[in-house]
Amino acid sequence: MNRIIVVVRRTAWSKLAIILGVALLVCCGARAQDKDFSKVEIKVTKVSGNIYMLEGDGGNIAASVGEDGIVIVDDQPSIRALVYSSLQHIGYRNLVECGDGEEALSEITARIPNLIISDLNMPKLDGLGLLRAVRTKPGYEKIPFILLTSRAETAIVKQALELKVNNYLVKPFAVDALKRKIEAVIGPFV
């Protein structure tokens, strides 16, 4: 399932925005072999206020749609800067940096991101705690989540998988490795 977030600026426009979002998901995302678009299922959920989540079984287009961007979470400014510049190199532009899990949770609650990339070890709320909070918050549980860790210990990876992490990446990493991990979760940058 892929997701598009539609932010409706005026109540009167909500139906039109949802219809356009559905059309975008179906036309841009449908697999080439799906000639019969009536077989493509779309689910529209009102998240809150003027934010609607559209989910469908079309192709991978979530990375390039919407104003919601990618949230980067790490307590080390140098790592945040590395992830930020790597994402810019790949082509992503709407990036938000957070210094710990609590700050990220506040940011995520304010607007639903396309992707969360979070460090494991942080003060206040660590990466697993953030993942747990996201997975248990109604309307947020399907946000793609990549965990960054300096050690790929089996117990940590197992715990992250139990919490339904989408992918993980061991630091240090190359831009191409980050790109592959993101593409495995949300598809290629369009």
Domains of the chain: 2-59 (no CATH), 70-186 (3.40.50.2300)
How high is the pLDDT of residue 22? 54
Least confidently predicted of 12-21, 60-69, 120-129: 60-69
Q: Does 60 have pLDDT greater than 80?
A: no
The C-alpha atoms of residue 145 and residue 129 are separated, in whole angstroms, by 12
Question: Is the separation of the CB atoms in 36 and 94 below 8 Å?
Answer: no
Give the lowest-confidence range in 39-53, 83-97, 143-157: 39-53
Residue 163 pLDDT exceeds 60: yes
Dihedrals φ, ψ of 6, to 5°?
-110, 120
What whole-number distance in Å separates Cα of residue 140 and Cα of residue 5? 12
**Could you tell me the sign of the dihedral formed by the alpha carbons of 170, 172, 178, 180, in that order?**
negative
Residue 37 pLDDT: 47
Which residues of the chain form beta strands (DSSP E)?
Answer: 2-7, 42-48, 51-56, 70-73, 95-98, 115-119, 145-149, 167-170
pLDDT beyond 90 at 14: no
Percent of the chain with pLDDT over 70: 63
Which contacts of 13-19 are long-range, i.e. CB under 8 A and separated by 24 or more positions?
14/50, 14/52, 17/52, 18/44, 18/52, 18/54
Among 46, 45, 56, residue whose Cα is nearest residue 1: 56
**Three-state DSSP class for residue 17:** helix
